[in-house]
Amino acid sequence: MRYSIVSLAKNAMSFHQNWPRQWRSPSPKESYDVVIIGGGGHGLATAYYLAKEHGITNVAVLEKGWLGGGNTGRNTTIIRSNYLWDEASHLYEKSLQLYEGLSKDLNYNIMLSQRGVMNLAHSLQDVRDTKRRVNANKLNGIDAEWLDPQEVKDFCPIINISTDLRYPVMGASLQKRAGTGRHDAVAWGYARAADQRGVDIIQGCEVTAINRDGGKVTGVETTLGTIKAKKVAICVAGHSSVLADMAGFRTPIESHPLQALVSEPIKPVLDTVVMSNAVHVYVSQSDKGELVLGAGIDAYHSYAQRGSFHVIEHQIGALKELFPIFSRLKMMRSWGGIVDTCPDACPIISKTPVDGLYINGGWGTGGFKAIPGSGWTYAHTIARDRPHELNAPFDLNRFVTGYLIDEHGAAGVAH
């Protein structure tokens, strides 16, 4: 059933009791052309574009928990493309462009809200770096502007630009096409659209081993039995190195907890996204009225999906300094995810040393914004057994050649 005003009205007549399930829950087949490990946004988008762009529909997405239960359902949903280097900005800009048409493409409202993202500068060095990035973005055709402190205040009236702050606001970059999207809707929209094209989505199915014959992948062992596959694609966010280990190769990835929290709902006060690398906080207001807040990563390594209290304390301190208006707000809940970080703060979308095995990971704190672009380029890489020009620079081999793409500036705070 297509979602439309007509189907909404029709279903209202039966008190919304007869909506069909959004995707099937099939048992796994004995074999597939492609098995994708991980039912987060990246895995589901990859399945969708494999079917849509390359006509490969004999595909299974294997998810050990539930769809979007990993980082896709835990992130703060910021979408932007204002990265410094050409390679990264082209990839993230492709993603933003796909996001702009995604609700229509998937026939699923992903609630994209292009409310703008401001990255604050708090020191002279910050000002120089941020202006440089604004100029680099413009050269790449990406919308970006530099705002002085008064322009920051005009754009976001509740921000504190007083000069006696510990970290005064000395300006900001603004990408107006950036903003937020609804994380669950992105996962569910891709799942529904992939299912409609014949992809099997199998939840509660953990991959426990990657089977190989010589140097070639032959399938996977799972908690639901052996599944054969001509090609296997890893897409597991916080567990990339665990899966790589199963296949016998190493990645330079470190896994850290990353936390976020939301406040009680309040009336609309903030209609943009504000991020600060220096004080380590970023904030937006959800459609329900809650403030959605994120911090930097916890310093230690962990797979626990929870972080330390002092990180949240630091983040709230920074928030109160920038927005004194929030000082009496109650926080409702906090949570954590596991983010895989690469030494250059850029992802991996790549072939691996095992023939027929591919890896997509290392998105660190910023892979939600990349879901469409990542799925699109990863599907190309899997279908053609060679990277698209957009993801070629994000090959595993760059850690051997040293051709790193240092995006620590643009990816500096969790986002």
Ligand X SMILES: Cc1cc2nc3c(=O)[nH]c(=O)nc-3n(C[C@H](O)[C@H](O)[C@H](O)COP(=O)(O)OP(=O)(O)OC[C@H]3O[C@@H](n4cnc5c(N)ncnc54)[C@H](O)[C@@H]3O)c2cc1C
- Under the rule (CB under 6 A), what is the footprint of ligand X? 37-43, 62-65, 69-72, 74-78, 206-207, 235-239, 258-260, 294, 337, 339, 363, 365-369, 414-415
Of 312 and 383, the one with the shorter C-beta distance to ligand X is 312
Is residue 358 within 8 A of residue 351, CB to CB? The reply is yes
**Rounded to the nearest whole angstrom, what is the least distance from the CB of residue 56 to ligand X in the complex?**
19
**Rounded to the nearest whole angstrom, what is the least distance from the CB of residue 88 to ligand X in the complex?**
13
Of 170 and 232, the one with the shorter C-beta distance to ligand X is 232
**Rounded to the nearest whole angstrom, what is the least distance from the CB of residue 116 to ligand X in the complex?**
14
Q: What is the DSSP letter of 355?
A: B
Exposure on the CB side of residue 228, measured as CA atoms within 13 A: 4
**Rounded to the nearest whole angstrom, what is the least distance from the CB of residue 411 to ligand X in the complex?**
9
The two tokens of residue 24 are 């099937």
Of 56 and 237, the one with the shorter C-beta distance to ligand X is 237
Question: Which of 98, 40, 18 has its CA nearest to residue 233?
Answer: 40
The two tokens of residue 406 are 């240092």
Of 75 and 119, the one with the shorter C-beta distance to ligand X is 75
**Rounded to the nearest whole angstrom, what is the least distance from the CB of residue 157 to ligand X in the complex?**
23
Of 192 and 415, the one with the shorter C-beta distance to ligand X is 415
Of 367 and 387, the one with the shorter C-beta distance to ligand X is 367
Cα–Cα separations (whole angstroms), residue 415 to 25, 91, 154, 167, 370: 32, 16, 23, 20, 11
CB atoms within 10 A of CB 49: 25
Of 285 and 365, the one with the shorter C-beta distance to ligand X is 365
**Rounded to the nearest whole angstrom, what is the least distance from the CB of residue 162 to ligand X in the complex?**
27
Is residue 347 within 8 A of residue 363, CB to CB? The reply is yes
**Rounded to the nearest whole angstrom, what is the least distance from the CB of residue 272 to ligand X in the complex?**
14
Of 161 and 173, the one with the shorter C-beta distance to ligand X is 173
Q: What is the full DSSP assignment across 11-29?
A: HHHTTT--PPPSS--PPPP
The bridge status of strand 331-341 relative to strand 216-222 is unpaired
**Rounded to the nearest whole angstrom, what is the least distance from the CB of residue 89 to ligand X in the complex?**
14
Q: Which amino acid is at 22?
A: Q
Cα Rg of the chain (Å, integer):
21
The two tokens of residue 124 are 């002279």
Of 77 and 140, the one with the shorter C-beta distance to ligand X is 77
Residue 57, Cβ density class (10 Å: 0-12 exposed, 13-18 middle, ≥19 buried): middle
Q: What angle do CA 78, 290, 308 make, to 5 degrees?
A: 70
Q: What is the DSSP letter of 109?
A: -
**Rounded to the nearest whole angstrom, what is the least distance from the CB of residue 360 to ligand X in the complex?**
7
CA distance 128 to 134: 10
Dmax (CA) for the chain in angstroms is: 66
